Amino acid sequence: MPTSQACDDRGVSPELLHCDASLIVAVKPAGLLSVPGRGEDKQDCLAARVQAVYPDALVVHRLDMATSGLMVFARGLEAQRRLSDAFARRVIDKRYVAITAGRMASTEGEIDLPLIADWPNRPRQQVDLVRGKPSLTRFQVSGHDAASNTTRVELEPVTGRSHQLRVHLCAIGHPIAGDALYGPAEVQALAPRLLLHARSLVLQHPNDNRRIAFEHPAPF
In words, the CATH class of domain 95-196 is alpha beta
The mean pLDDT values, 10 residues at a time, for the chain of 220 residues are: 40 83 97 92 94 97 97 97 95 97 97 97 96 98 97 97 97 98 97 98 95 97
User: Cα(210)–Cα(10) distance, rounded to whole angstroms?
Assistant: 28
Q: What pLDDT score does 75 carry?
A: 97
Backbone angles phi, psi at 46, to 5 degrees: -65, -40
The model's pTM: 0.92
Using one digit for the tens of pLDDT, what is the confidence trace for 74-95? 999 999 999 999 999 999 999 9
Residue type, 171: A
- The region that residue 51 occupies, defined by phi over 0 for left and psi between -120 and 50 for alpha, beta otherwise, is alpha
What is the Cα–Cα distance from 28 to 199, expressed in whole angstroms?
Answer: 11
**Residues across the chain:** 220
Active-site hit among 64, 118, 145, 208? 64
Active-site residue, 64 included: yes
Q: Structural domain boundaries of the chain?
A: 95-196
101, β-bridge pairs? 150
Spatial separation of the C-alpha atoms in residues 95 and 101, rounded to whole Å: 19
pLDDT score, position 13: 80
Chain centre distance of CA 219? 14
